[in-house]
Amino acid sequence: TIVEVLENQQHPKVLKGKNVLITAGPTREKIDPVRYFTNPSTGKMGFALARQAAFLGAEVTLITGPVNLTAPAGVKRIDVITAEDMYNQVLEHFSTNDIVIKAAAVADYRPKQTFAQKMKKQPGEYTVEMERTKDILAELGKRKEHQYLIGFAAETNDVERYGREKLAKKNLDAIVINNVSEADSGFGHDTNSSLFITKQGRETTFPVISKDEMARQILMKSLEELGW
């Protein structure tokens, strides 16, 4: 759009020549063709990161679950449905990227069995056996070489403690910790609030601001740490 072109001209191209990989949205884990498990992610935070990274001159790859959003101009968009698809695509693109930001809300469980045809309902209860999906962020943390790896934590309680644990355990360079129970923050909102912590221990509290503004600041803070 014209607005994007104009905004684009106002950004210093501090990410020129850099490759940035961003994931966004939810995943869907099917029971059958008409039933699945998912989460309330709308992809807004990931798309904001992709937009801001592109504004700053990066080559952006955006791997997204099913969302109702249009990819920013110039961004390479890859659509996936399941956590398994997301794992495969992210792993395929990891080695060639410099900054990797996992904003997607990937399902951590999926039904063990998926039926090709609609399961007919029966009277009474039934049980869905769930198994763990592959942990993408942990895998990236293990394989990390030159990449600057940023994760997200979406929690409803003991938010900061869980976030700090995740930063260390998954070998991240930084983490964006969201309390998704807070008003005007998290899933579906145009605004967000969070605590941004880097491996070096620098902490930034973002009050409720637009997801685009938070995205820009996350990228700028990361650049500072990288010394670019």
- Cite the active site residues: 39
Q: What would the x/- binding string for a second copy be over residues 39 to 78, using CB under 8 A?
A: xx---------------------------x----------
Q: Quick check: 112 binds a second copy (CB under 8 A)?
A: yes
Class of residue 50 by CB neighbours under 10 A (exposed 0-12, middle 13-18, buried 19+): buried
CA dihedral 141, 150, 176, 70 (to 10 degrees): -130
Q: Which stretch binds a second copy (CB under 8 A): 92-100, 129-137, 189-197, 207-215?
A: 129-137
- The site map against a second copy for 144-183 (x = CB under 8 A) is ----------xxxx----x-----------------xx--
Q: Residue 128 half-sphere exposure, CB side, CA atoms within 13 Å?
A: 15
Q: Is 105 in the site for a second copy (CB under 8 A)?
A: yes
The reply to whether 128 sits near a second copy by the rule CB under 8 A is yes
Nearer to a second copy, 76 or 164 (CB): 164
Regarding 215 and contact with a second copy (CB under 8 A), the answer is no
State the amino acid at position 171 in one-letter form: N
d(CA 164, CA 148) in angstroms, rounded, equals: 17
Place of tokens 């607005």: 3
Residue 1 touches a second copy, criterion: CB under 8 A: no
186 dihedral zone (left: phi>0; alpha: psi -120 to 50; beta):
left
Q: What is the distance between the alpha carbons of residues 224 and 216, in angstroms, rounded to a whole number?
A: 13
130 binds a second copy, rule: CB under 8 A? yes
Closest approach of a second copy to the CB of residue 131, in Å = 5
The total of other beta-carbon atoms located within 10 Å of residue 66's CB is 14
| Least distance in angstroms from the C-beta of 135 to a second copy | 9
Q: How far is the CB of 183 from a second copy (least distance, A)?
A: 14
